[in-house]
Structure 1
Amino acid sequence: MNTICEFFRRRAWLRVAVVAWITPSLLFLPGGTRANPSGGIVTSGAVEFGDGLGGHLQLRQSTDKAIINWEEFSISAGEITEFLQPGASSAVLNRVVSGNPSAIQGALRANGKVFVINPNGIVVGTSGTIDVAGLVLSTLDVSDAEFLSGGDMIFRGNGN
């Protein structure tokens, strides 16, 4: 295994090629039909979930920071997920807790900062659009305390 890791470490161009080849396949992994995010549980802050009718899910965040754990965080083509936040410096941490990757094929909108953490991968497809004040997409996790403190954050873990 170390030989394989050393091989990839020395060949950055090959890493890029492998990621470009593998990433589209994430869209076809099991996980059901992808639509707007589902199964959200607010663990910190205050967020009101809209009904998502018509393919438009609005999330009204009334605190400066919020954390939501999701079963699924994907947005299908033609769907809209929109965070209405107190301001441009507000932030929401969206953590995916299932074993499925996230695919953003529709629109992700926010007037503040959006973090999406999914250890199983995140892909933004060709039809995906992102219009936010700030964005972090990561397979590594950050502690709730670091996120809520607003200071430096260290992302850790074993992203797949």
Structure 2
Amino acid sequence: MKTPTSLLRRHSRFQRTVMLTLLPALSMVSSPVRSNPAGGLVVNGNASIGDGLGGHLSINQLSDKAIINWQDFSIGAGETTQFIQPGANSAVLNRVVTGNPSSLLGALRANGKVMVINPNGILVGATGTVDVGGLVLSTLDVSDADFLGGGD
């Protein structure tokens, strides 16, 4: 016959196992999503990054190709990130250089090609919309030389 103490011990172990299993998933759900990409640094090409006020971030790309390293590349629901590029064959490489995964829950727009590289993952949510000339989302990096040499 099982004693109340052994039943409590078994129940407690079960609760601990469930909590340890769910903890990583809960931490992903509760992590804050930024309104728009933040901490951008243009490392190649010519582009200017707007302030993102009013839920709209504009990146004005003046060169045919540009590389931007970001601290965070997420777009919140109801927010818009727009790349204004010289033409349909223009390309921008957006690389996340921190441990933050990307969540695209708002609108991503561009008249050219957009690449987002994030080794920590990229989620396009149900509210996320993409209207670009070409799109690559990847967890695998591409070298600057390969991108600039035609690997867009």
Q: Where do 4+ consecutive residues of structure 1 move more than 4 Å?
A: 24-27
Secondary structure class of the residue paired with 1:147? helix
Structure 1 pair 71–123 and aligned structure 2 pair: CA distance change class (3 A): same
The count of corresponding residues between Structure 1 and Structure 2 is 128
**Identity fraction in percent:** 66
Structure 1 residue aligned with 2:90: 90
1:4-83 alignment runs, 5 A limit:
28=29, 30=31, 32-83=32-83
Instruction: Look up the match of 1:99.
Output: 99
TM-score, reference length from structure 1: 0.76
CA distance in 2, matches of 1:94, 1:78: 21
1:50: how far off? 1.3
Separation in 2 of the partners of 1:59 and 1:147?
A: 19
Larger of the two Rg values belongs to structure? 2
- How far 1:90 moved relative to its partner? 0.2
Supply the distance in 2 between the matched residues of 1:41 and 1:101 (Cα, whole angstroms). Answer: 18
Gapped regions of structure 1 (runs ≥ 5)? 1-23, 154-160
The 3 A distance-change label for structure 1 pair 140 and 26 is: farther
Task: Identify if the C-alpha distance between structure 1 residues 150 and 34 changes in structure 2 by more than 3 Å, giving closer, same or farther.
Answer: same
Q: TM-score, normalised by structure 2?
A: 0.80
